[in-house]
């Protein structure tokens, strides 16, 4: 490198570059030049062969994907019917599905399998599992309970959440307005979070996740003789509600 070039470098960066620094860059330049030279010296025939091999392998891969897709093993899109319908985060629909599965005489085919497991999970001890009534959207005063299950010696009150927040004093009002039935209070959320509006009833609320329900339902399904196909779709939807 000429002295004139070094001097120009000094001027361009405010005169702070020293000749020794420029000399120190030269080995790096030499290494880069050698690497580029090696790449440029690669045999043209080898490169053409590699590209042709890529085409062959890509064609093989496309054939394998087509076979998997035809066999139903390569999947895309929504995982469940409710997701396809855009209802996988709809609290009303998901709670209605829970109500369906909690009715022992429902066409789901689980009998009281899920109901028994849910009662055990939250510490509710009914004297019997017949008769059972399951009510959705039960209203008292200006407060609505998402789900109320009544069976001999026990009542379950479920407040379900997916993405919506709590209304002012919502859980406190639920506890107060249904207090005469001494219900087991269940706060159902994607990640088992505690309620923030329970006030004095805070310790009475049992936190349960949609994933917990999915696990309980899978266990009940394993013991059922002929569970309805829709049960597993509900379970898969609950598992995705996080």
Residue 13 lies in a domain: yes
| Residue 111 and residue 201 share a domain | yes
Residue 76 lies in a domain: no
| Residue 31 and residue 103 share a domain | no
Neighbours of 126 (CB within 10 A): 20
| Residue 202 and residue 94 share a domain | yes
| Residue 30 and residue 145 share a domain | no
- The rounded distance, in Å, linking the Cα atoms of 239 and 155 is 26
Among 13, 40, 70, identify where a domain stops. Answer: 70
Residue 121 lies in a domain: yes
Give the residue, 199 or 73, on which the prediction is more confident: 199
The dihedral over CA atoms of 32, 35, 40, 44, expressed in degrees to the nearest 10, equals -160
Q: How confident is the model at residue 70 (pLDDT cuts 50, 70, 90)?
A: confident
Residue 61 lies in a domain: yes
So what's the pLDDT on residue 4?
46
- Outline where 75-160 has alpha helix (H): 81-84, 91-102, 113-122
pLDDT digits (tens, 9 = 90+) for 111-121: 999 999 999 99
Rounded to a whole number of angstroms, the distance between the first and last alpha carbons of the chain is: 64
| Residue 109 and residue 35 share a domain | no
Per-residue pLDDT for 99 more than 90? yes
What is the tally of structural domains in the chain? Answer: 2
Q: How confident is the model at residue 3 (pLDDT cuts 50, 70, 90)?
A: very low
| Residue 93 and residue 19 share a domain | no
Find the domain containing 166 and state its range. 81-239
State CA 222 to chain mean position distance: 23
pLDDT digits (tens, 9 = 90+) for 132-186: 999 999 999 999 999 999 999 999 999 999 999 999 999 999 999 999 999 999 9
């Amino acid at each position: 490198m000429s002295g004139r070039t070094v001097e120009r470098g000094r001027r361009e960066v405010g005169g702070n570059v020293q000749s020794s620094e420029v000399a120190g860059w030269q080995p790096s330049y030499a290494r880069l030049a050698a690497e580029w030279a090696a790449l440029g010296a690669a045999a043209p025939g080898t490169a053409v062969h590699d590209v042709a091999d890529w085409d062959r392998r890509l064609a093989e891969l496309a054939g394998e994907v087509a076979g998997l897709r035809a066999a139903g093993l390569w999947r895309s899109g929504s995982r469940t019917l409710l997701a396809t319908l855009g209802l996988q985060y709809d609290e009303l629909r998901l709670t209605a599905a829970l109500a369906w599965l909690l009715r022992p005489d429902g066409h789901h085919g689980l009998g009281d399998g899920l109901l028994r497991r849910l009662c055990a999970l939250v510490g509710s001890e009914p004297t019997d599992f017949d008769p059972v009534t399951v009510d959705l959207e039960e209203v008292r005063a200006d407060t609505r309970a998402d789900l109320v299950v009544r069976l001999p010696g026990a009542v379950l009150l479920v407040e379900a959440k997916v993405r919506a927040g709590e209304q002012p004093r919502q859980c406190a009002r639920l506890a107060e307005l249904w207090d005469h039935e001494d219900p087991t209070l269940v706060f159902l959320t994607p990640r088992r979070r505690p309620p923030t509006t329970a006030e004095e009833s805070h310790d009475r609320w049992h936190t349960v996740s949609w994933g917990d329900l999915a696990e309980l339902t899978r266990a009940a399904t394993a013991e059922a003789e002929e569970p309805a196909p829709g049960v597993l779709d509900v379970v898969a939807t609950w598992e995705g509600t996080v």
